Every structure is written in C-alpha cells, then in structure tokens.
C-alpha cells in the first residue's frame, strides 16, 4: 500500500512540475503581445533592435574593489558621509544632486588629484557578468543590432569601454547619460525618443520592434509608453528562456 501511495505521489509531483514549467511566464506573454507575435507578427534582425541596460544586467558592482578604493584612499570618512548624503537626496530629486553624477558630487569643491583619482576608481568598481555577456554574444550572433541604453554617466561608460573593449564592441551604438545632453536619463521621455532615432540610424530604417532589457520596472513602464517592448531583467536564464521560447533567439 505504501509503495502504491509513493508512486502516486511521485506521479502527481511530476505532473505538477510539468504544468509549472510548461506554462509561459507573464513576462513572456506580455512580450508576445507587445511584439504582436500572437497576431502573426514576426521578429527578425531586419525589423528588430535590442536595447540593453548596463548596470545589473551585464555588469555588477564589485563591492570588494569599491571598498578598497574607498578605505585605502584619502578622505574616506568624509567621503562615506557624502555618498550617504547623495543617495539620501537622490530619490527626492533634490537640487543639490539633480543633474550630478556621484563622481561630480564627490569631486565638487576638491581639487586634490589623488582624491579625484580615488573617486574615479570608486565609481567604476564594476565587473562584467560572464553569462550575461554570453547572452549578448548569442543575440549578436543571431544577427540582431545591439544598442547600449544606460543611465550610467559618460565618465564610467568611457572607463568601461577602455577596460572591456571585447564586451562593448558587441554594441552597434551607445546611448548613455551625457553632460552635453543635459544629463537626460531614462526617467525622461526624451531618452526613449532619442534611442529610437539612434536605432533607426543604426539599422538604416525605422525598426518595427524594439526589445528593451532593463532591471528597473519603472524604466520598462516608461518604455512601453514609447511603444518599446520590455523584459524586466531578473536573471540571464530568465531572459534567455523568454527570447528562446518566443523563437526570437535560436536554441
């Protein structure tokens, strides 16, 4: 009797597991609808451009390197206070931080080159995520155009481009926060219109679809208002699975 009961339990567990894995995710369903694949639409390298965020998608903060840059350089205690003050004010768009990157905020009023060099190391403490970079290569190898679409300031992006050319060479164009562009970020509607123009220039014609991969829900929501389809990035496997299941990427 116990054997039969165990067999039945295993069968039920297998059936439940299959039903869970077989059911498409909500994100997959939303992307399917946004791209009109459920209406016979198609996605291919000639009509689609990928917009890729930087921080927390294919690059992550290297906390060990950040701590070393902070702790073993001048002015660490005042710097800790200034960093805390910057991030405390940032969500409220306080005038003293609005339009300033962390590097600009830390350097304000300090002319010491050693201090500024340490700040530059601190704000550029990123490490590339190998699985995420592999996914970018997979998208690229399938023929799609890639555009970097990031709020990261130009000093950091330019630093990373020099440090990791093999990664940033995967991108056909780059949009990021620039002083010359009034420090516009993805919180501004203009950014989505600008990246659409950049996509058109990169592809050579107006793309039918944009697939935006970003780790911030608010950015995905704002992108949708500009008719840009988004994937809220939670992991490489999740994003790869969505794109593969919809037939956008080859297996």
Residue ranges of domains in the chain: 22-59+128-245, 63-123
Task: For residue 55, list its beta bridge partners.
Answer: 59
- Tell me how long the chain is: 251
Q: List the beta strands (DSSP E) in 71-144.
A: 126-128
Q: What is the pLDDT along the chain (251 residues), one digit of tens a residue?
A: 555 444 445 444 444 443 334 455 899 999 999 999 989 889 999 999 999 999 999 999 999 988 988 888 878 888 888 889 888 887 776 666 766 788 888 888 888 888 888 888 888 899 999 999 999 999 999 999 999 999 999 989 999 999 999 999 999 999 999 989 988 999 999 999 999 999 999 999 999 999 999 999 999 999 999 999 999 999 999 999 999 999 999 98
CA distance linking residue 104 with residue 119, whole number of Å: 9
On the 0-12 / 13-18 / 19+ scale of CB atoms within 10 A, 50 is buried
* CATH number listed for the domain at residues 22-59+128-245: 3.40.50.1000
pTM of the model: 0.83
- Enumerate helices (H) and strands (E) in the chain, giving the number of each: 12, 7
């Amino acid at each position: 009797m116990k054997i039969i009961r165990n067999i039945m339990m295993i069968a039920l567990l297998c059936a439940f597991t299959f039903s869970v894995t077989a059911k498409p995710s909500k994100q997959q369903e939303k992307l399917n609808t946004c791209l009109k694949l459920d209406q016979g639409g198609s996605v291919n390298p000639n009509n689609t451009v990928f917009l890729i965020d930087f921080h927390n998608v294919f690059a992550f903060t290297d906390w060990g390197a950040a701590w070393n840059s902070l702790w073993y350089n001048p002015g660490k205690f005042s710097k800790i206070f200034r960093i805390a003050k910057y991030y405390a004010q940032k969500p409220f768009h306080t005038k003293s931080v609005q339009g300033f990157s962390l590097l600009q905020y830390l350097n304000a009023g300090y002319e010491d080159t050693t201090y500024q060099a340490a700040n530059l190391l601190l704000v550029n403490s990123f490490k590339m995520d190998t699985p995420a970079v592999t996914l970018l290569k997979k998208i690229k190898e399938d023929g799609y155009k890639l555009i970097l679409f990031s709020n990261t300031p130009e000093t950091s992006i330019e630093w990373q481009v020099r440090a990791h050319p093999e990664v940033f060479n995967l991108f056909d164009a780059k949009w990021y926060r620039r002083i010359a562009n009034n420090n516009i970020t993805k919180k501004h509607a203009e950014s989505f219109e600008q990246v659409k123009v950049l996509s058109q220039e990169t592809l050579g014609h107006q793309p039918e679809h944009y697939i935006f991969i970003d780790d911030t829900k608010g950015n995905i929501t704002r992108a949708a208002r500009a008719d840009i389809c988004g994937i809220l990035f939670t992991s490489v496997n999740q994003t790869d699975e969505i794109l593969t299941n919809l037939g956008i990427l080859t297996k």
